[in-house]
Structure 1
């Protein structure tokens, strides 16, 4: 039989086989040991095995119990205790010790078997529903085989124990605490309740270790029977209601029996009943009420940290508070508010936030309000404030009262702080729900004056440039007060208020930006009459803001306060409005659009209204001038003419104002032009601007200057190497005659076009200025001289001389500074050309030197005479040849026939100046330094003439062609000049005595 038992598999062992095989064995120890050794997964077979083994130990237990009851002492000896007697018995009969030990194991297993069966019977209905749903899914599975047999519900229920978290062998053999923790971890909480009920004495010390294993997300309602409760009478933790399987322990389980087994020297059969164990700290004594409160709080924190499920934590606290556990009411209040934030407040599209009690406690009330409304839309904002924010604020007020520090304004103050910091769109939604026409109970902001103050602070504290419709909707929700009985002088008070606000909102080093909260502090002390006036001003500012935004020059509302007393700021913004509006694409396409713009700009001046507009410091004429300037800057000159000169004009400006505006607009376009060609681009617009104004001297001059600029640019005059001069550089040139010089120096053939160059001079602003004309002719003559075009050089010199002579009579010219300046340039130019050796026309050279003698100052006469005397022998020879041919009747030489002496008018002038001079020419005057001196004098007078073609140093060459140093010229020429001056001062004339006798 023993061989059959050992070879029989556990799954083949049925209840009948237990009796069949073990009933034939007479050895009780072997049979009971076999029953202990086998742990089956079948409840019926396991129960049969346990009851059979226990039955085979019944007679032994009766015997041992009787022996233990014997306590009669022997004669002459002391009495022996029951434990000693039983211990002696076990030592003398080892088989009884083994059977007693194995019986206790079997009884413990039988109790656990009964518990296991009861736990299976009360499995939650939801598990059964899951199985039924799973069956339905199997029946409807489109991927299943139609021929396959569908499992029945009974089959599914039979397999249900297989999903039990602890198998029967594990439950029978392992530590009971381990099984309880497994049930808690797997949320088999109804079975865990049965386990606690049947084995409370064994599990009580480890109850908190078991509760820790229950997942934090499990709702407390499913394990309320396991939660610790309070015995209010003793203010201690209530003991659980126990219902063990056996009220009285078996003899083998008695402590005395177990002690006897431990004290006997019989080696007992080792039974492994704890393969898996769980460590825990035993808490055998009930907790106090404060300790229970701490446990609940810790569980709440752990639940929120682990899962974030505030509703679970709240349910746990509510259960504990219902059980009378102290200090949970305030925690429940906080969790209730937090649950509203987590579950009731609108959620964003981003990931959910991690809310914990630590974070909640660290938040300020205003931060909590913002968190409640962080994802609210304007449509839901009013409802969210009523259902989420207001209850929270009421709780804060109640809490302050309970703390003995009542603060009736706490809720309104926090709400106002939120309104001041939120967006204008949200403010508009709040004001829609706070209209004075609504019932007081429905309004969010209930105080009318507070509504006005907050609206003023929000609007003037906002930097928004594109929410004018929203701002207007806020204004429309404000209350209207009857201030007809207000005191007079309110206009001054309003002006003072605006001025004070302007200073407040203007940034400074101490306060870079004024916030809406700062503005509310300013508005708080104002009475309703002043608030009404402030709202009237706000109305005007809102209308002005809409107008500016309409024309693409928006300004924040605070700007209207800042610029209320600053004309420069208003003028700058008016210019921006006139120019940017015209530059907007597809905005102003006709006269009607521009008239609309003008109408709006004039409206911003305020007109006759007592309330100041955005351009209140600008007059109507100034605004119209700014408008005309912006119109001209866009190139709409036809529209400008229509608006100025139409029969019913909308732009009434004086001719002087029109001229000034046109000139300014033209010059601005001129300065911004990249090209000087007035046929296209900004330069053409600059020229066309002048056509709008009535013709005047200033308009003509500006037109000519534009034409001159275009001509200069056509010559490609460089401003620097590789860069052509720009119009703005031409405008900024102080001496514009230097531009003529640059044209001549940068173009080889420019000097050939005398009239063109002179016309350029006139258009540069030198018309009817003979001095400038003389200088230009001198430039032309010198340029031609350097190009060795002596014919044009002489023609320009003659024209220059005639211009100088035409400036006035010789008798009155010496005191004329303009004449002296022109004469200075003229005699030097004539002197330069008259002494050029390459110029072969002796008669013209003598004429030029005669002009130089006539126009030069007295202290320079001897310099000119030196050149004259050098040409005099040649002139005398030519004259003698001319006389000889005339006497002989021969035809004069072409050159001699054209020769002539100094013109008679020049000669007479010279006689008048030198009638007292009759002495021979000083020999020292034959030196060439006088010519060098004249050259240097010309350079000092015409220093701005860039004559650099390689002949400017010719005057410093001596007759041998070598350069003389400046020091030698100073040394040698000094004595000559001094001697000549002394001779001339004595009145000794020598120049024109016998001119007609030659």
Structure 2
């Protein structure tokens, strides 16, 4: 009845009273013990009652077994009382008393559960809710900080969490804890960071010590080590091995002895299965024995490296190392140093709060000292850089120096070399406060760079290695922090040394395709050999370069210090830059004061008048006279001619330049404007500038000639002359022409009425540079005559020819007889050829003028041409006589027209349709158009034909007056026919022919 009642009860219905009522009254111990074994509850008190009851019902079985074994024993052995229960007697007893064997097996399991139950109760008491606070504070409990003497402990951050406690449930129910291996509970507690509960588990449950490292590995890497300090492995310094802990002893009950349990497993089959169900997972690592000191050290290092690389929490890693050292773990001092330095990088370096820093211990040790310094200073600002060096960089450098000494390789210059290396690589805005904190006026203990020579060398390297063209204010502030030596013994040797150094440095900094710009660290080697006296001279050179750079930057043409160094003896570069300076500023200067201010600054940069040798200033190779010329030319190039005139011709004060220099510069500048002009009209653009530029100097013949040439260019451009089809003739083309009379030919051939304006054309010739050149005037008149003749404007042709004849006669009269120059002879040749051409023209009807021109041709021609000209003169003379006779005949018979006149009329009709071929002098230029080229070519051909007459005839004979094949009359008619074309002859009236 009782058994039925017990089996029908639910776990939720059980109470302590009900347990006693249902089980205590049962006389069968095995049944009661088995019932207590089968029932596993989650309630601690009820489970305790069951375990007490079950264990109590196994007491008699233990007593009977022990008594039976004692009776069978023949005596106590030498090894002690424990041996009387071992061996064959135990097997014999359990073999004959199976119920007692069952009770002993149940007892061993109930005792194990009882031990776990009490541990579970203690774990439940230890369970508390832990809230981690983000606020980090210095853990004052560590009085044995091994780095307290070397570092400021205030910078070592260890997180001491403020905890608010509240009971929370145990992660595993009691039933699971009693029936599974306790390592499951340990892992669950570790994951919840219930370290007090884990400690209770390890101390109270036998065998859990073997799983200590498995549970330690499951602790979150961000957990503060002080929270689980009691779980950390310690080292016995004497044994150099892991220190053993005071753990709970295994149950000493008789039935839990190993030999008894082994025997029980033979007679109670289910005991083996029950024990196996409570074993740990096979993949869980165990360490039954104590580890060596090196193994413990290795564990700490691995844990630290994982914490750094995973969480980046250097303070947690450092705290772990501190705890390890306090627990006797050796060889962690250097790791602690590294972690202290890393913690400064992670928490104290600028920008560390904005950028998460993840770095492992291996990564840290792989960094070179220079890289570490760069990491420390990566986010430093001008406001923090000095403090960052003192609290971050210097402690690190001292640690490196100390390690070198401990390693037996002391390096007294290590700190200096690493610090200087950073300074040489720092940007200019950070260098200013660094040099300011190294001023010689400060105490040596307060200076970043304490040595005066070092600060001078570093400043020279940093400034000459700076490629910036805008940071002159910062560079000047650095210069103001440099030492000033009063060295009376400085002589030529030091000056030569500095000169050689600067020259070598300039050569090294020369631009190259295979070499980048010199870095400050590379330039330092040039200044290392220099000592105080030489460094003082080098700083003087630097001062001059800085002043030059500031002035050039002020006027918008900045350069680098390297350029100033390289160009210090290069006149070409300095002259080019001075020119660029003036031309760059011309758009920003609006008053005379502005221009004079520019001139004043340029003169500051030039070579002093009392010094024949170049100086180190920007324009040190140029004299003040050179600077004034460059300045004035730049002023002219700006187009501000009124201002240039006021400076060149002041009413009061010193004259900027002499008249000759002003004239030369104005001419050069005007020609530059002229050559760059794209249009010849002097009312617009560069041509206007070129013309107005000539108003600056006093009028001189050279200025006047240039002005007239510009006017002539503008006049020629108005005729729209082309250099080639579709491309207008540029002013530069006109200047580069060797024979500018070609332009006159193009004007005459390209314009139908230009020949009528004789004076305009002659004025154009004079302005093209032929003023006073009689030969050019004669050639021009000849071209005008030829053009008028082609236009059949005989009046203009006669007038121009008459003027040309008078000009040549005066030209010949001015020269001594018999000693005519080639120009006079050429002018005479041009004149007589032009007169002959017009005098024998068949369509020119003024025989009186024609005879006059032929007579002048006879007067001016060479002797070998007289016969030819006489032939043409006789022809005109015969025509004149014939015309006179016809006139007289008409007067006698006014109503009749003589046969002669009709014949002559037909001849005249034919002649009117022919155009004369004109003989051109070889010296006359050819026109660019096809008609002019043809005329010139035909003229040369006709001129080569013989003018001689085979036989002299009587002047009154008609036969003699008939044109012969080689006579000038035939030549003229042929030329005229070729020039106008003979196509019209095909459809001509035969009666007219």
Q: Considering the TM-score relative to the shorter chain, is it more than 0.5?
A: yes
> Is the 8 Å Cα contact of residues 211 and 287 (structure 2) preserved in structure 1?
yes
> Is the 8 Å Cα contact of residues 58 and 103 (structure 2) preserved in structure 1?
yes
After superposition, the Cα gap between the structure-2 partners of 1:334 and 1:268, relative to the gap in structure 1 and judged at 3 Å, is closer
Give CA-to-partner distance per residue, 1:594-639, whole Å, 9 cap, x none: 1111111111125368764322221212111111111122222222
Superposed CA RMSD: 3.9
- Give the Cα–Cα distance (whole angstroms) in 2 for the partners of residues 318 and 8 of structure 1: 57
Query: Which is worse superposed, 524-533 or 794-803?
Result: 794-803
1:684 aligns with 2:693: no
After superposition, the Cα gap between the structure-2 partners of 1:270 and 1:451, relative to the gap in structure 1 and judged at 3 Å, is closer
Shift of 1:821: 3.8
> Is the 8 Å Cα contact of residues 83 and 259 (structure 1) preserved in structure 2?
no
Shift of 1:358: 2.7
Corresponding residue for residue 221 of structure 2? 216
Corresponding residue for residue 203 of structure 2? 197
Corresponding residue for residue 440 of structure 2? 436
- Give the Cα–Cα distance (whole angstroms) in 2 for the partners of residues 710 and 664 of structure 1: 19
1:360 aligns with 2:361: no
Corresponding residue for residue 643 of structure 1? 647
What aligned pairs does 1:806-885 form with structure 2 within 5 A after superposition?
806-809=810-813, 812=817, 815-827=820-832, 829=834, 873=875, 876-883=878-885, 885=887
The unaligned stretches of length 5 or more in structure 2 are 76-82, 135-163, 895-915, 962-993
Give CA-to-partner distance per residue, 1:511-551, whole Å, 9 cap, x none: 55333233322222223122212222222222221111111
Give CA-to-partner distance per residue, 1:551-571, whole Å, 9 cap, x none: 111121222222221111111
SS of 2:196's equivalent? helix
1:338 aligns with 2:320: no
Query: Which is worse superposed, 62-71 or 335-344?
Result: 62-71
After superposition, the Cα gap between the structure-2 partners of 1:249 and 1:723, relative to the gap in structure 1 and judged at 3 Å, is farther
After superposition, the Cα gap between the structure-2 partners of 1:676 and 1:157, relative to the gap in structure 1 and judged at 3 Å, is same
1:328 aligns with 2:329: no
- Give the Cα–Cα distance (whole angstroms) in 1 for the partners of residues 861 and 42 of structure 2: 143
After superposition, the Cα gap between the structure-2 partners of 1:40 and 1:808, relative to the gap in structure 1 and judged at 3 Å, is farther
Give CA-to-partner distance per residue, 1:829-886, whole Å, 9 cap, x none: 5565566666666665666666666656667778x65xx8579557513422315646
Corresponding residue for residue 161 of structure 1? 168
After superposition, the Cα gap between the structure-2 partners of 1:886 and 1:157, relative to the gap in structure 1 and judged at 3 Å, is closer
Corresponding residue for residue 420 of structure 2? 416
SS of 1:225's equivalent? helix
- Give the Cα–Cα distance (whole angstroms) in 1 for the partners of residues 196 and 841 of structure 2: 132
The unaligned stretches of length 5 or more in structure 1 are 131-155, 893-930, 958-965
1:184 aligns with 2:177: no
- Give the Cα–Cα distance (whole angstroms) in 2 for the partners of residues 951 and 732 of structure 1: 22
SS of 2:207's equivalent? helix
- Give the Cα–Cα distance (whole angstroms) in 1 for the partners of residues 890 and 349 of structure 2: 133
- Give the Cα–Cα distance (whole angstroms) in 2 for the partners of residues 67 and 791 of structure 1: 174
What aligned pairs does 1:697-736 form with structure 2 within 5 A after superposition?
697-736=701-740
Shift of 1:454: 1.5
SS of 2:930's equivalent? coil
> Is the 8 Å Cα contact of residues 439 and 481 (structure 2) preserved in structure 1?
yes
Query: Which is worse superposed, 265-274 or 219-228?
Result: 265-274
After superposition, the Cα gap between the structure-2 partners of 1:13 and 1:772, relative to the gap in structure 1 and judged at 3 Å, is farther
TM superposition score normalised by structure 1: 0.81
1:556 aligns with 2:560: yes
Corresponding residue for residue 595 of structure 1? 596
Shift of 1:434: 0.8
What aligned pairs does 1:762-781 form with structure 2 within 5 A after superposition?
762-781=766-785
What aligned pairs does 1:427-506 form with structure 2 within 5 A after superposition?
427-487=431-491, 495=499, 498-506=502-510
Shift of 1:335: 2.0
> Is the 8 Å Cα contact of residues 643 and 649 (structure 1) preserved in structure 2?
no
SS of 1:702's equivalent? helix
SS of 2:694's equivalent? helix
- Give the Cα–Cα distance (whole angstroms) in 1 for the partners of residues 180 and 754 of structure 2: 120
1:624 aligns with 2:628: yes
After superposition, the Cα gap between the structure-2 partners of 1:870 and 1:680, relative to the gap in structure 1 and judged at 3 Å, is closer
Shift of 1:328: 1.8
> Is the 8 Å Cα contact of residues 838 and 853 (structure 2) preserved in structure 1?
yes
After superposition, the Cα gap between the structure-2 partners of 1:46 and 1:801, relative to the gap in structure 1 and judged at 3 Å, is farther
- Give the Cα–Cα distance (whole angstroms) in 2 for the partners of residues 350 and 599 of structure 1: 51
1:251 aligns with 2:254: yes
- Give the Cα–Cα distance (whole angstroms) in 1 for the partners of residues 401 and 195 of structure 2: 42
After superposition, the Cα gap between the structure-2 partners of 1:474 and 1:116, relative to the gap in structure 1 and judged at 3 Å, is same
Which residue of 614, 620, 635 corresponds with 2:618?
A: 614
After superposition, the Cα gap between the structure-2 partners of 1:53 and 1:770, relative to the gap in structure 1 and judged at 3 Å, is farther
SS of 2:405's equivalent? helix
Query: Which is worse superposed, 606-615 or 457-466?
Result: 606-615
SS of 2:691's equivalent? helix
Corresponding residue for residue 156 of structure 2? none
1:56 aligns with 2:57: yes
Shift of 1:944: 4.3
After superposition, the Cα gap between the structure-2 partners of 1:841 and 1:215, relative to the gap in structure 1 and judged at 3 Å, is farther
Corresponding residue for residue 152 of structure 1? none
After superposition, the Cα gap between the structure-2 partners of 1:702 and 1:255, relative to the gap in structure 1 and judged at 3 Å, is same
Corresponding residue for residue 36 of structure 1? 37
Query: Which is worse superposed, 725-734 or 437-446?
Result: 725-734
Give CA-to-partner distance per residue, 1:289-331, whole Å, 9 cap, x none: 2222222222221111211222222222222233333322222
After superposition, the Cα gap between the structure-2 partners of 1:493 and 1:521, relative to the gap in structure 1 and judged at 3 Å, is closer
> Is the 8 Å Cα contact of residues 206 and 283 (structure 1) preserved in structure 2?
yes
- Give the Cα–Cα distance (whole angstroms) in 2 for the partners of residues 350 and 780 of structure 1: 91
Corresponding residue for residue 293 of structure 1? 297
TM superposition score normalised by structure 2: 0.82
Which residue of 506, 529, 541 corresponds with 1:525?
A: 529
- Give the Cα–Cα distance (whole angstroms) in 1 for the partners of residues 510 and 610 of structure 2: 26
- Give the Cα–Cα distance (whole angstroms) in 2 for the partners of residues 723 and 542 of structure 1: 52
What aligned pairs does 1:170-181 form with structure 2 within 5 A after superposition?
170-181=176-187
> Is the 8 Å Cα contact of residues 435 and 478 (structure 2) preserved in structure 1?
yes
1:264 aligns with 2:270: no
- Give the Cα–Cα distance (whole angstroms) in 1 for the partners of residues 98 and 298 of structure 2: 53
Shift of 1:251: 2.7
> Is the 8 Å Cα contact of residues 310 and 358 (structure 2) preserved in structure 1?
no
- Give the Cα–Cα distance (whole angstroms) in 2 for the partners of residues 267 and 743 of structure 1: 133
Shift of 1:651: 4.6
- Give the Cα–Cα distance (whole angstroms) in 2 for the partners of residues 66 and 861 of structure 1: 180
Give CA-to-partner distance per residue, 1:217-262, whole Å, 9 cap, x none: 1122111211111111111111122135xx5432332212221122
- Give the Cα–Cα distance (whole angstroms) in 1 for the partners of residues 70 and 715 of structure 2: 144
- Give the Cα–Cα distance (whole angstroms) in 1 for the partners of residues 125 and 334 of structure 2: 41
SS of 1:519's equivalent? helix
Give CA-to-partner distance per residue, 1:341-373, whole Å, 9 cap, x none: 222111168643432223222222222212211
Corresponding residue for residue 149 of structure 1? none
Corresponding residue for residue 578 of structure 1? 582
> Is the 8 Å Cα contact of residues 643 and 650 (structure 1) preserved in structure 2?
no
Corresponding residue for residue 242 of structure 2? 237
After superposition, the Cα gap between the structure-2 partners of 1:673 and 1:62, relative to the gap in structure 1 and judged at 3 Å, is farther
After superposition, the Cα gap between the structure-2 partners of 1:653 and 1:194, relative to the gap in structure 1 and judged at 3 Å, is same
> Is the 8 Å Cα contact of residues 644 and 650 (structure 1) preserved in structure 2?
no
Shift of 1:415: 1.4
After superposition, the Cα gap between the structure-2 partners of 1:479 and 1:72, relative to the gap in structure 1 and judged at 3 Å, is closer
Corresponding residue for residue 318 of structure 2? 314
Shift of 1:432: 0.8
> Is the 8 Å Cα contact of residues 655 and 694 (structure 1) preserved in structure 2?
yes
- Give the Cα–Cα distance (whole angstroms) in 1 for the partners of residues 132 and 314 of structure 2: 29
